[in-house]
């Protein structure tokens, strides 16, 4: 199951109490106070793990607390500090405040660490309060409580290339032909219910990652359909392949292109200027009308200065040229800078 958002409550471990103790041993006069300090509570740390794909481990359990520090003991023994609690999250996870408004951390790199909750400091034992005028202090400090924070985790997939388009535009079929990914493919809208990632071999020991984003519909940026749940995943993609089905008779291909562009720009202004390639799909199922739709899309691409490709994922027509063009476009964009992908 693909889980890409969840609430999370993290609690640092409590610090141990300081100890009140006096040294009492035979033949040792004036032993004095020897109460040790309490140990510090453990911290809660989030760690970006490349082996995780979803936030499923946190679907049913939302509350996590680090280990408490141990209390101090006599003979000046300091209590053991609590162990830190490391919570693994997928690379690309964004940590938000409880309201989901302010971004606190972006776990966009493998191995990234973020201190989510501080452990409490251990209290001082009575040996700490000894002075020339107070030689038998009974004062000690209790341990401090650990920090409590309520957070919200949202996953934004990290991919070089994002496949976007209306339902049944051929995104899943294309992904299955370009990579080893096997998304569900069927002839009805919203077949794909969750994003899928695939790695495309472009030759020469080079590759890029493709994300199949579930079909968007008009009004997706306002919550219509399924696509609004996954629009944030498009933000991470450096290049978009905008797939359009010229055989769809519900509306013209150019009209659907404009509708999807509008939904992306409504979600994020940065998406409006994201580099993209227009792709007419399903060349194996064209009639006279749909052939004219392909030419309309080609002209639209020329007018707007966009790259254009026509393919048949079923027969494999144009796939090699499309992979080569996408690879060149990614090369032109230069190396990935995770700071620009938030």
3-state secondary structure the chain: CCCCEEEEEEECCCCCCCCCCECCECCECCCCECCCCCCCCCCEEEEEECCCCCCHHHCCCCEEECCCCCCCECCCECCCCCCCEEEEEECCEEEEECCCCCEEEEECCCCCEEEEECCCCCCCCHHHHCCCCCCCCCCCCCCCCCCEEEEEEEECCCCCEEEECCCCCCHHHHHHHHCCCCCCCCCCCCCCCCCEEEEEEEECCEEEEEEECCCCCCCHHHCCCCHHHCHHHHCCCCEEEEEECCCCCCCCHHHHHHHHHHHHHHHCHHHHCCCEEEEECCHHHCCHHHHHHHHHHHHHHHHCCCEEEECECCCCECHHHHHHHHHHHHHHHCCCCHHHCC
Q: Model pTM?
A: 0.72
* Pairing status of strand 206-212 against strand 44-49: unpaired
Sorted by sequence, the CB contacts under 8 Å of residue 193 that are 6+ apart come out as: 184, 214, 226
One digit per residue, pLDDT tens: the chain, 342 residues?
567 789 999 999 999 999 999 988 777 777 789 999 999 999 999 999 988 888 989 989 999 999 999 999 999 999 999 999 999 999 989 999 999 889 999 998 999 999 999 999 999 999 999 988 888 899 999 999 999 999 999 988 778 898 888 887 888 889 888 887 776 655 545 555 567 788 898 887 788 888 887 766 554 444 444 445 567 777 778 899 999 988 887 778 899 889 888 888 887 777 778 899 999 998 888 787 788 899 999 999 999 999 999 999 989 999 999 999 999 999 998 765 544 444
What whole-number distance in Å separates Cα of residue 157 and Cα of residue 92?
Answer: 6
Domains of the chain, residue spans: 1-155, 161-340
Same fold, 1-155 and 161-340: no
As its CATH architecture, domain 1-155 has: Distorted Sandwich (2.70)
Res 261: pLDDT: 86
DSSP-derived secondary structure for 137-168: -----PPPPPPEEEEEEEE----SEEEE-STT
Res 46: pLDDT: 97
104, containing H or E segment? strand 103-107
Using an 8 Å Cβ cutoff, are 72 and 19 in contact? yes
- The domain 161-340 is classified under which CATH number: 2.30.42.10, 3.40.50.720, 2.60.40.1220, 3.40.50.300? 3.40.50.300
């Amino acid at each position: 199951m693909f889980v890409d958002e969840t609430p999370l409550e993290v609690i640092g471990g409590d610090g141990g109490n300081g100890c009140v103790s006096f040294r009492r041993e035979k033949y040792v006069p004036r032993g004095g106070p020897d109460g040790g300090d309490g140990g510090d509570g453990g911290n809660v740390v989030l760690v970006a793990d490349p082996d995780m794909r979803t936030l499923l481990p946190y679907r049913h359990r939302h509350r996590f607390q680090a280990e408490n520090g141990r209390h101090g003991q006599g003979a000046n023994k300091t209590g053991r500090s609590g162990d830190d609690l490391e919570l693994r999250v997928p690379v690309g996870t964004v940590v938000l405040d409880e309201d989901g408004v302010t971004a606190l951390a972006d776990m966009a790199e493998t191995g990234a660490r973020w201190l989510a909750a501080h452990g409490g400091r251990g209290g001082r034992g009575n040996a700490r309060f000894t002075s020339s005028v107070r030689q038998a202090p009974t004062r000690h400090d209790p341990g401090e409580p650990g920090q409590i924070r309520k957070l919200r985790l949202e996953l934004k997939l990290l991919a070089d290339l994002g496949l976007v388009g209306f339902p049944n535009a051929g995104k899943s079929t294309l992904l299955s032909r370009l990579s080893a990914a096997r998304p569900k493919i069927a002839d009805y809208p919203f077949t794909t219910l969750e994003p899928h990632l695939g790695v495309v071999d472009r030759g020469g020991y080079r590759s890029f990652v493709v994300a199949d984003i579930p079909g968007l519909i008009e009004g997706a940026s306002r919550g219509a359909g399924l696509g609004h749940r996954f629009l944030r995943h498009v933000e991470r993609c450096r290049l978009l392949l905008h797939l359009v089905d010229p055989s769809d008779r519900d509306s013209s291909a150019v009209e659907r292109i404009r509708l999807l562009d509008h939904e992306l720009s409504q979600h994020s202004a940065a998406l409006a200027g994201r580099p993209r390639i227009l792709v007419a799909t399903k060349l194996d199922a064209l009639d006279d009308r749909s052939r004219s739709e392909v030419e309309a899309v080609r002209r639209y691409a020329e007018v707007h200065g966009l790259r254009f490709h026509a393919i048949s994922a079923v027969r494999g027509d144009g796939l090699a040229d499309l992979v080569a063009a996408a690879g060149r476009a990614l090369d032109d964009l230069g190396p990935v800078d995770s700071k620009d992908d938030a």
